[in-house]
Amino acid sequence: MGRYVIRRLLQMIPVFIGTTFIIFAMVHALGDPVAALFGDKAPDPAVAAQIRQQLGLNDPLIVQYGNYMKGIFTGDLGTTFSGQPVTELLKTAYPTTLKLTLVAFTFEVIIGIGLGVISGMRRGKLADTGVMVMTLIVISIPTFVIGYVLQYLFGVKWGIADATVPEGAPIQSLILPGIVLASVSLAYVARLTRTTIAENSKADYVRTAVAKGLPRRRVVTHHLLRNSLIPVITFLGTDLGALMGGALVTERIFNIHGVGYYLYQGILRQNTPTVVGFVTVLVIVFLLANLLVDLLYAVLDPRIRYA
């Protein structure tokens, strides 16, 4: 197990280098960052050349990347064009996004699995049909539509929830954005749970559990659910990373100053250090979440052993 973890961690290194380089190159390809810095006005060529020189933008791409990577290993992720260190931005943005993600993740787990179990156990009944139709609707509508509609209804028209999230992002103001962020994943989780529950309820070992005279509740919780949740947990793990990345849209809608907000600003200004810094952290989170899922998998299913 320990060796497996180490191997997986080592595998992260090439992934890390690859992703950072691709992002670095892509942001570079977007165009001239100095021009973007000046907005609509054309910069004075002499000033622009001086800034380029300062930021090392005249060096070949690979040299710029090398300089950037050198910085990373000394804890320096570069500075934004406004002079703020990227690490500082990360420190303010990530806790907020993490909080939002956790709220969304909680909804996804509780409501998604709950609905899935209910509809899987009552296949073909009204509850099942209801869940299927609802989740299909949620999956079909883009998040930003759901987001704006819910924001308008709950936040503006009925005034039940905060329409925008104030500074500091208190938990209660994140409930509505959390639901919006979770909505699509939640629908997938519900459907996936329903399928595995329905499939496993016909399994031989469930029949054995019934034949043993176990109460229905115990058959479901100890035998059916435990086995059915294994694929669901795999999905949840990979989705944790996707939720953080997907928070971009939700954060825009509810004006949350998280990862999505800064990333959006960074892309708009073609600020390579900001974009690469934020995406790199996202990538690491994604990789760690995947590793965690694989380890959890072995805990949940004793047939899987890593060596």
Partner 1 sequence: MGIHATEVTAEHGRGRTADSEDAPLLQVKDLHVEFRTRDGLAKAVNGVNYSVRAGETLAILGESGSGKSVSSQAVMGILDSPPGFVTGGEIVFKDQDLLKLSSEQRRKIRGTQMAMIFQDALSSLNPVHTVGTQLGEMFRVHRGTSKAEAKKKAVELMERVGIPAAKERVNQYPHQFSGGMRQRIMIAMALALEPDLIIADEPTTALDVTVQAQVMELLADLQREYNMGLILITHDLGVVADVADKIAVMYAGRIVETAPVHELYKRPAHPYTRGLLDSIPRLDQKGQELYAIKGLPPNLLRIPSGCAFNPRCPMAQEICRSEVPPLHAVTEADGAPIEGRGSACHFWKETIHG
Question: 156 or 210: whose CB is closer to partner 1?
Answer: 210
Question: 28 or 123: whose CB is closer to partner 1?
Answer: 123
Please state the closest distance from residue 36 (CB atom) to partner 1, in A: 55
Which tokens sit at 297?
């998998």
Please state the closest distance from residue 118 (CB atom) to partner 1, in A: 18
| Helix/strand/coil for 164 | coil
- Choosing from 29, 42, 46, 211, the residue that interacts with partner 1 (CB under 8 A) is 211
Q: Does 212 bind partner 1 (CB under 8 A)?
A: yes
Neighbours of 7 (CB within 10 A): 11
Question: 39 or 124: whose CB is closer to partner 1?
Answer: 124
- Choosing from 209, 232, 256, 263, the residue that interacts with partner 1 (CB under 8 A) is 209
Widest distance between CA atoms in the chain: 85
Q: Does 205 bind partner 1 (CB under 8 A)?
A: yes
Q: Does 84 bind partner 1 (CB under 8 A)?
A: no
- Choosing from 18, 84, 222, 292, the residue that interacts with partner 1 (CB under 8 A) is 222
Neighbours of 295 (CB within 10 A): 16
How far is the CA of 137 from the CAs of 44, 117, 151, 227, in angstroms? 53, 19, 18, 28
Q: Does 166 bind partner 1 (CB under 8 A)?
A: no
Neighbours of 125 (CB within 10 A): 11
Q: Does 126 bind partner 1 (CB under 8 A)?
A: no
CA end-to-end span of the chain, whole Å?
6
Q: Are 273 and 217 spatial neighbours (Cβ–Cβ below 8 Å)?
A: no
Please state the closest distance from residue 203 (CB atom) to partner 1, in A: 7
Neighbours of 63 (CB within 10 A): 11
Binding interface with partner 1 (CB under 8 A): 202-205, 207-215, 218, 222-223, 226-227, 300-303
